[in-house]
Amino acid sequence: MRSFLQREVIKDKNFLFLSFILFLVGFVFRIVNLTSWPIFADEAIYIRWAQVMRAEETLRFLPLSDGKQPLFMWVMIPFLKLFTDPLFAGRFLSLLCGLLTMFGIMIFSLFLFKDKRITIFSLFLYAFSPFAVFFERMALVDSMLSMFGLWAFLLSFLSLKYKRTDLAVFSGFSLGAALITKSPALFFVLFLPSVLLLQDWQKREVKKQILNSFFLLFLTYIIAYGIYNILRLGPNFHLLSSRNYDYVFSLSHILEDPFNPFFGHLKDIFLWFFYFNSLFLIILFVIGVWQGFIYFKKQTLFLLILFLLPLLIQAEYAKVFTARYILFILPYFVLISSLSFFSRKLKVLTWLFLLGFVTFSIFQNVSFAFRKESAFLPKNERSGYLEEWTAGYGIKEVANYLVTLSKEKNGQEILVGTEGYFGTLPDGLQIYLNSYPNIKVAGMGLDFKEVPSGLIESSKNGVLTFFVVNSSRSKISDFSHLQRLAEYPKAKKKDGSFEKLLFYKVD
């Protein structure tokens, strides 16, 4: 393995230079204006958990209380020490996971196809892919899940290929890390044996090869589940399985109602790839499958298993289904798409499709960085990240106002009531006020018809009191106790209407 890398990679300066340029392009697409998008609900929750876990050692398993695995938050803690902006810290972690995924794609492609042209092309596609760029600019766990899944398959493949116990151990570490990142890591557990398809079976040694392979896979599983069982140290381990049923149907669903929501989800999947990767890359993928079965049958079948089966299973069983839930299959989609350049008959068309994909990707990625409201997004993603209460427009501005006021008032006690109990509010505000103990943020519920009495009482007692609420959650008609300080409009909807974050002082 080492000699292969030295011969094919380290000594090839042109390959290294092109790879470096593509990594740099991928980094620039992901880092520029990283915090320009408003904080999303799940981002606020994860970052707030990381802050609490950093401050209180006894709460290191806090995400288990909501049926979530904690690794992403554990790894985020050092980044909160490095960067003053907690949103940048969380998103930078996701960005790094994306770059490590790119590196995994490079190594996987080299060993699968032994063709550096395919490797460069796969790196190119992933660096430019708006699907990857968009979600790797967000402080969400899906980028980490994708990274660990890819490396688990890669290391397991290499351990079987070179009969290396150490690589099987590292594969176990990666698989175990995926298991304590997010529940869909179960797909990696289920499909890890598919690496057996890539084995070069020798008739004379087939029994020995089978025994060695099963030993290495068994070792990987033992280590992975040893890591997973660390979560049993937390007080709410049982919630992992019970909360999963909030997101997926039971196994019997396929017998009861097999086509609902299966076909609807298949349509969603196509639209996500259309909006985030363009029709051009979808066509390149189809050409890649065709060329793959001509030149790389085993490798193509292996990659199709990792790409298609998780999609089909999620389409059948997912109750809640959004684009980021399929981010972890994107590396295999890209690897297959990179095979399209083996086509001699369609060479001109392939280059035209690539040009179309690059043009589309540059528009999308520039929009993500500088013109977010003009980005070409699926309906649900646009509403969730830009238009509705989940989009945290104005939250940082409110926090900055409160910090400035706190300094002017020499640390006087300040109370801020917000809508909700967790999520964009109050968590999105708390992450920016974490270092100011005199500013207390309290979630007050939903759908307000009047100003919460606790806030009015607080103001009467001489505490500087404020109220933050989204316009869609407020039905207040009596403003006698409220003084509007600011409002922050969100992105416009198709009908021209828009929600606003409202910031009041309570008198």
**DSSP codes of every residue in 297-308:** HHHHHHHHHHHH
- What Cα–Cα distance (Å) separates residue 2 from each residue in 8, 67, 499? 10, 42, 57
Angle at 419 between CA 415 and CA 423, to 5 degrees: 105
Residues 431 and 422: their CA atoms lie apart, in Å, by 12
What's residue 245's pLDDT?
82
Angle at 132 between CA 131 and CA 138, to 5 degrees: 100
Q: Which of 434, 421, 429, 425 is nearest to 390 (CA)?
A: 425
Residues 99 and 502: their CA atoms lie apart, in Å, by 38
- What Cα–Cα distance (Å) separates residue 168 from each residue in 13, 105, 223? 30, 19, 9
Residues 306 and 303: their CA atoms lie apart, in Å, by 5
Residues 351 and 484: their CA atoms lie apart, in Å, by 56
- What Cα–Cα distance (Å) separates residue 308 from each residue in 98, 184, 191? 21, 14, 11
Integer Rg of the chain from CA: 25
Residues 403 and 326: their CA atoms lie apart, in Å, by 39
Enclosing H/E stretch for 416: strand 414-418
Q: Which of 298, 157, 184, 331 is nearest to 247 (CA)?
A: 184
Per the CB < 8 A criterion, the answer to whether 285 and 336 are in contact is yes
In the numeric block, the tokens 């042209």 are attached to 117
Domain with CATH 3.40.190 in the chain: 391-506
**pLDDT tens, per residue, the chain with 507 residues:** 767 777 767 778 899 999 999 999 999 999 999 999 999 999 999 999 999 999 999 999 999 999 999 999 999 999 999 999 999 999 999 999 999 999 999 999 999 999 999 999 999 999 999 999 999 999 999 999 999 999 999 999 999 999 999 999 999 999 999 999 999 999 999 999 999 999 988 888 888 999 999 999 999 999 999 999 999 999 999 999 888 888 899 889 899 999 999 999 999 999 999 999 999 999 999 999 999 999 999 999 999 999 999 999 999 999 999 999 999 999 999 999 999 988 878 889 999 999 999 999 999 999 999 999 999 999 999 999 999 999 999 999 999 999 999 999 999 999 999 999 999 999 999 999 999 999 999 999 999 999 999 999 999 999 999 999 999 999 999 999 999 999 999 999 999 999 999 999 999
Torsion of CA 489, 491, 494, 500, to 10 degrees: -30
What's residue 246's pLDDT?
83
**Residues 16-34, buried b or exposed e (16+ Cβ, 10 A)?**
eebbeebbeebbebbeeeb
**CATH level 2 (architecture), domain 391-506:** 3-Layer(aba) Sandwich (3.40)
pTM of the model: 0.96
Number of Cβ atoms within 10 Å of the Cβ of 309 = 15
Report residue 235 as tokens: 């007080």
Report residue 10 as tokens: 């380290």
For residue 316, give the 3-state DSSP assignment.
helix
Q: Which of 424, 359, 432 is nearest to 386 (CA)?
A: 424
CA dihedral (364, 365, 368, 372) positive or negative: negative
Per the CB < 8 A criterion, the answer to whether 61 and 234 are in contact is yes
What's residue 151's pLDDT?
99
State the DSSP code for 161.
H
Q: Which of 244, 217, 197 is nearest to 66 (CA)?
A: 244
- 311 Cβ neighbours under 8 A, 6+ residues apart: 269, 326, 329
What's residue 423's pLDDT?
94
